[in-house]
Amino acid sequence: MTKEREILITEVALRDGSHAVAHQYTVGKVLAIAKGLNEAKVPYIEVSHGDGLAGSSLQYGFSRTNELELIEAAVSVCDTSKVAVLLLPGIGTVKDLKQAASLGVKMARVATHVTEADVSAQHIDVAKSLGLETVGFLMMSHMASVAQLVEQAKLMESYGADVIYMVDSAGALLPHEVTERIKALKEYVGVEIGFHGHNNLSLAMGNTLAAIEAGATRIDGSIRCLGAGAGNTQTEVLVAVLDRMGIQTGVDLYKIMDLAENVVAPILPKPQEITKDSLVLGYAGVYSSFLLHAQRAAEKYNIDSRDILIELGRRKVVGGQEDMIVDVATEIAKESKSQSLTS
Amino acid sequence: MTKEREILITEVALRDGSHAVAHQYTVGKVLAIAKGLNEAKVPYIEVSHGDGLAGSSLQYGFSRTNELELIEAAVSVCDTSKVAVLLLPGIGTVKDLKQAASLGVKMARVATHVTEADVSAQHIDVAKSLGLETVGFLMMSHMASVAQLVEQAKLMESYGADVIYMVDSAGALLPHEVTERIKALKEYVGVEIGFHGHNNLSLAMGNTLAAIEAGATRIDGSIRCLGAGAGNTQTEVLVAVLDRMGIQTGVDLYKIMDLAENVVAPILPKPQEITKDSLVLGYAGVYSSFLLHAQRAAEKYNIDSRDILIELGRRKVVGGQEDMIVDVATEIAKESKSQSLTS
């Protein structure tokens, strides 16, 4: 009489995958993909700029189409799937959230850096008052200790979040690290726990299975790996793997496979693979936005950009501290010069 | 005073990867890749037709260049890496093995279907007498029970194999299945245990870590995933992951990353990704050679080729039993016809 395990999948190709297509989604493409996801019975479909509501900007990249039109398009073809949005306080506002809710969105995911959950209080509160299912989304979670992660998750829970996600934004976590973190969250947090993985170390699927084994019940996937960096846990593969394990997702395997092959693959500018750049981001555990800055600094100081990124990872430098990149580059250049003088 | 864990990597891009380039390797490409692998200090480099020595044929695909020339080229640029060959008894012969040894090959991997280890006795014996390090390579290992796998590995050990590999040819195994199998092999077999994974279920890396955790010390990788199906455990990513875990491989991370990006990626006809075809092979757990036959039969009987492949997997059909494909297709077609008549 044991209850079968069930996992609810959120498809992020129309949000995280926006990075992979340089925010060039059109209403037509969103209609085609959302329609297919709805027919395959994917429970949640996230639609937003890659950096969340109102992310369209010079800094984060301009969207080709206003995301409200894309959200409206997705809602219009979904009768079983629920449409979700991502919001990063500081980029998106309460007003953006209200607009999204008025278009028929059913879930809001409020995302902060893993040590900054306190900035999510107001937005979680508003999302709840709008009647939305509300997720607290702790990004770059490899940068926090297990204790810090639990503490931050409990903050989001106290603000009213229905679900807390541990987000491996840089694809930097190893399976045993995922296990340890999800187990701690399950032990100390009362709401459902989710996991969002990236594939920079080729571990999105392995980490996802470790998360499920440790008790996560919400999982993000991106069809055909359509996500930032090396992409996310590949949704159609996840559905196949969970089916093999006897875990219910409610998603139609053949339909999601066909959608990946016939609709999503053709719109990708290039297939998602683990390149030198995405690998070094996962290995160093740093923000993808550091990459270009590090490469420029490396060229200027005639050093290897990987040395800069790895040192930034060691120092746990976060977004907004981009000025550190040149400091680190200068230090490495000095050190390598003094080494070559003494050798 | 605990000894640090060490893993010896065998790079298979110049053998398994031969499938990914339709056996079109040239001496120039092999020289460039082998030279880079040697400089990065990869311990073993396997060079052969994708289906092993003498695989070049109408049935398995003709090699553009005689593999003996490719082996000679690889040997000529390797002063630290050792060149290995793969041999499937029935395709390659003792004569092929002797020729390879005379060119400077240092390791022979003798491969059989997981339940047919007995056909490897003679070739393992000859390889040993030629002074080669000799590996028993049990393919399609998901098709055997744990007890069968152990029994077959012990046969290869009794023939003199120095190492036994568990080979997940279809990329069909899940991490807990890898753990169970490698643990059993470690318990009952006296020689080193290796693991060769494929990425059809996006688990090549996750399974590899499970294998290492369970005691495997030899691991196959393919640079930039250059292997059959969805490719193998990506070597440069594996080196990064093991480095993060404090496990020694002796491989230079930056050099292997650069080789992947600058030399290997440009020669790939298309990036390796998990497509509908490679996913269904991993999900069904069948030979890749069944795919085309199943697709032809599906078209003829107006059914879904996936239904055929999944049923073949259930029945544990093996290579050489291709006539079963039409039988299965006929049955599925009949069943679907009778269902539509009664519904």
Q: Which domains does chain A have, with CATH numbers?
A: 8-267 (3.20.20.70), 286-342 (1.10.8.60)
The pLDDT assigned to A96 comes to 97
Q: Determine the straight-line distance between the first and last CA of chain A, rounded to whole angstroms.
A: 71
Q: How much is the average pLDDT of A191-214?
A: 98
The one-character DSSP state at B46 is E
**Chain B residue closest to A175 (CA)?**
B206
On whether B336 is known to bind a ligand per the annotation, the reply is: no
| A236–B175 C-beta distance less than 8 A | no
The 10s digit of each residue's pLDDT in B294-343 is 999 999 999 999 999 999 999 999 877 888 999 999 999 998 888 777 65
Distance (Å, whole) CA A224 – CA B118: 41
Two tokens, residue B260: 């992947």
CA atoms within a 13 Å half-sphere pointing along the CA-CB vector of A41: 9
Query: ipTM > 0.85?
Result: yes
Q: How confident is the model at residue B111 (pLDDT cuts 50, 70, 90)?
A: very high
**Chain A residue closest to B266 (CA)?**
A275
CA distances from A187 to A40, A152, A174, A208, B298 (A): 33, 14, 20, 18, 50
Q: How confident is the model at residue A340 (pLDDT cuts 50, 70, 90)?
A: confident
The 10s digit of each residue's pLDDT in B278-290 is 999 999 999 888 9
Q: How much is the average pLDDT of B65-86?
A: 97
Q: How confident is the model at residue A320 (pLDDT cuts 50, 70, 90)?
A: confident
Q: Is A56 helix (H, G, I), strand (E, B) or coil?
A: coil
Q: Which residues of A touch B203 (CB under 8 A)?
A: 205-206, 209, 241
How many beta-carbon pairs below 8 A join chains A and B? 112
Q: Which residues of A touch B260 (CB under 8 A)?
A: 276
Return mean pLDDT, chain B.
95
The pLDDT assigned to A336 comes to 85
The 10s digit of each residue's pLDDT in B120-134 is 999 999 999 999 999
The 10s digit of each residue's pLDDT in A116-171 is 999 999 999 999 999 999 999 999 999 999 999 999 999 999 999 999 999 999 99
Q: Is A196 helix (H, G, I), strand (E, B) or coil?
A: strand
Q: How much is the average pLDDT of A59-76?
A: 93
Two tokens, residue B314: 């259930």
| A244–B174 C-beta distance less than 8 A | yes
Distance (Å, whole) CA B146 – CA B178: 10
Taking a contact as any Cβ pair under 8 Å apart, which residues of chain A between 236 and 275 contact chain B? 236-238, 240-241, 243-245, 253-254, 257-258, 260-261, 265, 270-275
The pLDDT assigned to B1 comes to 37
Q: Which residues of A touch B233 (CB under 8 A)?
A: 202
Q: Which residues of B are catalytic?
A: 19
The pLDDT assigned to B342 comes to 67
Secondary structure element (H or E) that encloses residue B9, with its range = strand B8-11
Least Cα distance to B234 among B277, B205, B255, B258 occurs for B205
**Chain B residue closest to A281 (CA)?**
B240
Cα angle value B15/B18/B19 (rounded, 5°)? 120
Residue type (1 letter), A272:
Q
Q: How much is the average pLDDT of B146-168?
A: 98
Distance (Å, whole) CA A225 – CA A199: 8
The pLDDT assigned to B124 comes to 98
Taking a contact as any Cβ pair under 8 Å apart, which residues of chain B between 176 and 235 contact chain A? 199, 201-207, 209-210, 224-225, 233-234
The 10s digit of each residue's pLDDT in A231-289 is 999 999 999 999 999 999 999 999 999 999 999 999 988 899 999 999 999 999 998 88
Two tokens, residue A92: 């998106």
CA distances from A144 to A152, A189, A281, B124 (A): 9, 16, 17, 51
The 10s digit of each residue's pLDDT in B180-207 is 999 999 999 999 999 999 999 999 999 9
The alpha carbon of residue B175 and the mean position of all alpha carbons in its chain are separated, in whole angstroms, by 17
